[in-house]
Amino acid sequence: FDGRILHRDSLANVQEIAPGAINLMTAGRGIVHSERTPPGPRAAGQQMLGVQSWLALPLAQEETEPSFQHFSANVLPIVEDQGVFARVIAGAAFGAKSPVETLSDWFYVELRLSAGASAPLDADYEQRALYLVEGAIEIAGERFDEPQLLIFNPGAAITIRALSDARMMLLGGAPVDGRRFVWWNLVSSSKERIEQAKRDWREGKFPSVPGDAEFIPLPED
């Protein structure tokens, strides 16, 4: 939403992300990355405001090859109507479809509402949620203030009304196909796989990030 950050990874990608853009990194069998404030904005004392989200890969793709995609703000579809601004980052919503390639059925939308404006959240996806970044909204007569995460019942009719100028992220998709375990930066359906990844990290078996030599030890070390 505000500020710039520089992404580097072990696939040799170097990409600055600016407001309205998306970096989608697929870890798969393993990737290493860094995120740094570029020298110019750092010297200027920039303020940063953004959202980072993690998405579980389907079981069949957990060990896929790592990859990275960048989409600038001008290629992501925008829908505007009577105080409603929706940027469709992934999936389909508000009659628009994002060009971002995904390995599962999910959607992600930045929604801004002017005070008094309303927008529906369609029930096209079984699981839906809303993260309120800024402002206050009303749903079914109940008020919600920032910051707050709302999770909706499948199939429920949802209309979001802004009580003030508001910004939120809409997200959801098909249910995850099984349990996931998270430890530090490691995610897997298998605890044994996480233990192997921990050993590999300690032993320096993960690939390095060209241009960024800093090593961060495991939290328990």
**Structure confidence at residue 45 (pLDDT):** 87
Q: How far apart are CA 203 and CA 210, in angstroms?
A: 19
DSSP assignment string, 152-208:
EPTT--EEEEESSSEEEEEEEESPPSS--EEETTEEES-HHHHHHHHHHHHTT-SPP
Q: Which neighbouring-strand residues pair with 7?
A: 15, 35
**Which CATH class, in words, describes the domain spanning 1-74+179-221?**
mainly beta
Do 1-74+179-221 and 76-175 come out as alike in CATH topology? yes
- Label each residue of 43-54 as H, E or C: HCCCCCECCCCC
**Structure confidence at residue 121 (pLDDT):** 96
Q: Tokens representing 188? A: 């897997």
Within 10 A of 72 (CB to CB), how many other CB atoms are there? Answer: 12
The beta strands (E) that lie in 27-97 are given as: 33-36, 67-71, 78-81, 84-90, 92-93, 96-97
pLDDT tens digits, one per residue of 150-192:
999 999 999 999 999 999 999 999 999 999 999 999 999 999 9
The closest of 81, 107, 102 to 169, measured between CA atoms, is: 107
The closest of 145, 68, 160 to 113, measured between CA atoms, is: 160
CATH number of 76-175: 2.60.120.10
Q: Where are the domains of the chain?
A: 1-74+179-221, 76-175
**Structure confidence at residue 40 (pLDDT):** 86
0.85 exceeded by pTM? yes
**Structure confidence at residue 221 (pLDDT):** 67
Q: How far apart are CA 171 and CA 157, in angstroms?
A: 15
Average pLDDT, 10 consecutive residues per value, the chain (221 residues):
95 96 96 93 89 95 97 97 97 96 94 98 94 98 98 96 99 95 97 97 96 92 67
Question: Residue 19, CB half-sphere, CA atoms under 13 Å: how many?
Answer: 7
Per-residue DSSP letter, 39: H
**Structure confidence at residue 60 (pLDDT):** 96
CA-to-CA dists, residue 6 to 13, 60, 110, angstroms: 10, 31, 21
